[in-house]
Structure 1
Amino acid sequence: MQIRDFEVEITGAQIADLRDRLARTRWPEPETVDDWTQGIPLSYTRELCEYWANEYDMQRLAARLNAFPQFHATIGGLGIHFLHVRSPHEKARPLIMTHGWPGSVVEFLDVIGPLTDPEAHGGSAADAFHVVIPALPGFGFSDKPSRTGTGIERIASTWHELMGHLGYPRYYAQGGDWGSAVTTAMAVRAPNGLLGVHLNVALVSPEALHQLGEPTEQEQEMLARAQRFWAEENGYSAEQATRPQTIGYPLADSPVGQLAWVVEKFYAWTDCDGHPEKAVSRDNLLDNVMMYWLTNSAASSARMYWENAQYLNAEPARPVRIPTAYTQFPEEIFAFSERWLRTRFSDLRYYHAAARGGHFAAFEQPEIFAREVRTGIASLVA
């Protein structure tokens, strides 16, 4: 394994090109409804893009990332960008956290402090973690795989190897979205040294619930929520799982297209009360969009869906036997009762329904998320 120091650099040429493309946007006509049912509204998209071009600090993302120790590792031919922040407390527990789509490592920046130095954020030294935050292959500043075969199983194995190389033979893992799939795959494999996992998204078979008997009223609503998602929200996934290269062309060429493709999901999947900026600030939204735009990673990140389409079909049937903690955020895409989760996660030691938050929990509610990680993983300690 080769590891080198890494810093983000945003050049003047990149900024000038972005502003030029934003200025030359050919806009479509407005939607014919007065809500988001046809997608992100034209008026809001123009407002957000005008702010991006004229008011947003184009060096903000670099400054935020470069405030933390960053590295680039080559592991089995994969080039992985990651943040590695050690706690001042030597007995801190090692923790690897994984993002998903359309997120990035930026999601976790505001929870690094509370997790690594809890005493400075109302916690105790016993709550401390050494934190490792990698970018998925094809995302952000990680390399783009040049051939097929970079699926969830390979990433899970790569993360385990990375943690060992960093000097963490015993560690915990956390994830949501694709990060949950990676973390769960690690849990299924249960490699020596993985002590337990915390998830804020899970995949569990609906058939397993029916085997428990008649679903409760709450569980019936959970099933209905999943059905609504597949019927009304799954278009992006179908496109990325079948034609990631095709969707890559317009998103690589148009910053407005890239922004709209990402920000729409922050409306649909967050606890935002009708507006994405009630859940995630405007600058944070743009930091996340910049992760895709600067690295030209629309196609390579979409390819994650193509690589893993069959994996996700088989995923809910694979049992997880290692210690697991789970937090149900109220506006998460999928919801599960505790007994439903136990049909797959047989050693579920922590289940809690958080008061606020959605799919991008660390981004939306960093204080709640950090507390859930602390409490959840504390429950896994033997």
Structure 2
Amino acid sequence: MAAEKFSIHFPQEQLDDLSRRLEQIRWPQQPTDTGWERGTQRDALQALIEYWKNEFDWRRQEAELNRVAHYRCTINGTAIHFIHERGKGPSPLPLILTHGWPDSFLRYQEIIPLLTDPARFGGSPEDAFDVIIPSVPGFGLSAIPAGNGVNNAVVAEIWHQLMTRELGYNRFAAAGGDIGSGVTRYLAQQHPENVTGIHLTDIGILRELMAVDDSSSLTEEERQYGQLARAWIGQEGGYMSLQATRPWTLAYALNDSPVGLASWIMEKFRNWSDCNGNLLSRFNYDQVLTNIMLYWLTGTAGSAANMYYDNAHSLPPIGQIHVPVGVACFPADILLPPRSWASKKLNITRWSKLPRGGHFTAMEEPELYAEDVRAFFRSLRAR
């Protein structure tokens, strides 16, 4: 089916149902000295929920989201949502951007004008991109797949069809972080004939460096990474273990309780961003709640978690990636990769260390992110 343009609009009945649920919250009791080390801190969550109940305006956010062009098409039986904004320049480069969890296509919302119309912000029109931002199947506005097994490699194949068959781009660029990094790497590995290059903000959790018993073959940087990764998994990886083993047990709670969903997502935005424990130093409540609303209104918290199961149980090994790769390391991101290891697996032609920012890269530092993307692909455009 050819792509069809649409506007985001959810029925008022869903908003009314949400309002009723937010008026009937049963808060858990916490000891007075409980902080974030045991999970979401109640006072912080209550402040977010009060804003949600009394000040947050979904219709205003909906109108803001509809300022860009949204489309749907069906690929392999699944309805796929994507943004498609044309660049303003002599030869815009097509660029597909893939989000992760627990964010959404909103990860890249602020950088759309920076990439499509760089001249407007003092840049060169020759750096313009056609920007394509799909929602991963089972996340937000893309439909929940009918069956299991939709992992990073499967999504990469869907993206290839989206770019080549639906949109007619024979050559294109790709970028992503978190789950989006995995999808982007599989896209480059499976279809190097179509992919000009890829830009990443991480290269996933390198479990082979965590499992090495004889570390004599590793560099000091790689050994340190293995130690840090083991500690991080032990302290922060509970969400991942649960979503990769029992996603549907979790889904009932997240799909039925807006406060439960907000707690699950808010904690990650606080812990994984460059905010030093102060969420509002990086995001405002409207940003956090609009992202939460995309999961709530579409009922996709469970299907998004289910992708962790599919990646853990059905994802094939990925081979060497030969297309040019740019890596942008944001200092507060999760487990910054060792360059020595990455260089063995990826054809790295640009490695950037950004001065600030965390896991939600383009949301936290849109200008820094956009400039690094423009700089990396500048030398590849002629190819």
Question: Which category of TM-score, normalised to the shorter sequence, fits these structures?
Answer: over 0.9
Are residues 1:215 and 2:219 paired?
A: yes
Contact preservation (8 Å) 1:31, 1:42: no
Secondary structure of 2:72's aligned partner: strand
- 1:41 corresponds to which residue? 41
TM-score by length of 2: 0.94
More moved, 157-166 vs 184-193: 184-193
Compute the displacement of 1:126 (Å): 1.7
Residue 201 in 1 paired to residue 202 in 2?
Answer: yes
Amino acid corresponding to residue 259 of structure 1 in structure 2: A
Percent identity between the two aligned chains: 39
The one-letter code matched in structure 2 to 1:248 is A
Question: CA contact under 8 A between 1:187 and 1:320: conserved in structure 2?
Answer: yes
Q: Compute the displacement of 1:228 (Å).
A: 2.1
Work out the CA distance in 1 between the residues paired with 2:109 and 2:68: 9
AA at the equivalent of 2:160:
H
Contact 1:225–1:333 (8 Å) recurs in 2: no
> How is 1:176-195 mapped onto 2 (pairs within 5 angstroms)?
176-195=177-196
CA distance in 2, matches of 1:116, 1:240: 36
Q: Offset at 1:211? A: 7.8
Matches within 5 A, 1:202-351: 202-203=203-204, 204=206, 205-206=208-209, 213=217, 215-216=219-220, 219-311=222-314, 315=317, 318-345=319-346, 347-351=347-351
Distance of 1:224 and 1:331 partners within structure 2: 17
The question of whether the paired residues in 1 share the 8 Å contact of 2:93 and 2:128 is answered with yes
Q: Deviations over 1:299-322 (max 9, x none)?
A: 11111011110356x64x632111
Change (3 A) 1:211 1:194: farther
How far apart in 2 are the matches of 1:92 and 1:136? 24
Q: Do the aligned partners of 2:3 and 2:71 also contact (CA within 8 Å) in 1?
A: yes
Deviations 1:3-61 (A, max 9, x none): 11121113322221111101100000125544211111001111100100100112133
CA displacement at 1:376 relative to structure 2: 1.9
Q: Is the 8 A contact 1:173 1:197 kept in 2?
A: yes
Compute the displacement of 1:88 (Å): 1.9
How far off its partner does 1:78 sit?
Answer: 1.5
Amino acid corresponding to residue 139 of structure 1 in structure 2: F
State the AA in 2 paired with 1:18: L
**Structure 1 pair 223/149, CA: closer, same or farther in 2 (3 Å)?**
closer
Instruction: Give the equivalent residue in structure 1 for 2:12.
Output: 12
- RMSD over aligned CA atoms reads 1.9
Deviation, structure 1 residue 370? 0.6
The one-letter code sitting in structure 1 at the alignment partner of 2:46 is: R
Q: Distance in 1 between matches of 2:31 and 2:100?
A: 29
Letter of the 1:187 partner, please give it: A
Residues 208 and 308 of structure 1: CA distance in aligned 2, closer, same or farther (over 3 Å): closer
**8 Å CA contact 1:82, 1:134 repeated in 2:** yes
Instruction: Assess, with a 3 A threshold, how the Cα gap between structure 1 residues 365 and 299 changes in structure 2: closer, same or farther.
Output: same
Query: Residue 322 of structure 1 aligns to a residue in which SS?
Result: strand
The count of aligned residue pairs is 378
* Residue identity in the other structure for 2:79: G
**Which deviations, in whole Å up to 9, do the C-alpha atoms of 1:337-361 show, x marking residues without a partner?**
322210110x210001111111110
Inter-partner Cα distance in structure 1 for 2:285 and 2:249: 29
In the alignment, structure 1 residue 113 sits paired with structure 2 residue 116: no
- Report how far residue 238 of structure 1 moved: 1.0
- TM-score, structure 1 normalization: 0.94
Q: Match of 1:227, as an amino acid?
A: R
Q: How far, CA to CA, are the matches of 1:224 and 1:127 in structure 2? A: 40
Measure the CA separation in 2 of the matches of 1:109 and 1:300: 22
CA distance in structure 2 between the partners assigned to 1:15 and 1:343 by the alignment: 50
Name the CA distance, whole Å, in 1 between partners of 2:68 and 2:28. Answer: 40
SS for the counterpart of 1:40 is: coil
Which has the larger displacement, 182-191 or 39-48? 182-191
Q: Is the 8 A contact 1:2 1:75 kept in 2?
A: no
Shift of 1:226: 1.6
> Residue 172 of structure 2 aligns with which residue?
171
| Whole-angstrom distance in 1 between the partners of 2:283 and 2:228 | 23
The match for 1:76 is 76
- Whole-angstrom distance in 2 between the partners of 1:13 and 1:221: 52
Q: Which digits, 9 at most, give the CA deviation of each residue in 1:92-122, with x for residues without a partner?
A: 1000000011010111110001000001112
Distance in 2, matches of 1:242 and 1:41, equals 26
Paired residue secondary structure (2:355) = coil
Deviation at 1:62, TM superposition (A): 1.2
Secondary structure in 1 aligned to 2:332?
coil
For 2:202 and 2:353, locate their aligned partners in 1 and report how far apart those are by CA, in whole Å.
12
CA drift of 1:246 comes to: 1.0
Give the match's secondary structure for 2:295: helix
Contact 1:328–1:352, Cα closer than 8 Å, also in 2: yes
For residues 371 and 220 of structure 1, what CA distance do their matches in structure 2 show?
Answer: 32
Task: Indicate if the aligned counterparts of 2:6 and 2:70 stay in contact, CA closer than 8 A.
Answer: yes
5+ residue gaps, structure 1:
none
* Equivalent AA in structure 2 for residue 352 of structure 1: S
Give the conservation status (yes or no) of the 8 Å contact 2:210–2:230.
no
More displaced stretch, 31-40 vs 66-75: 31-40
Q: Secondary structure at the match of 1:8?
A: coil
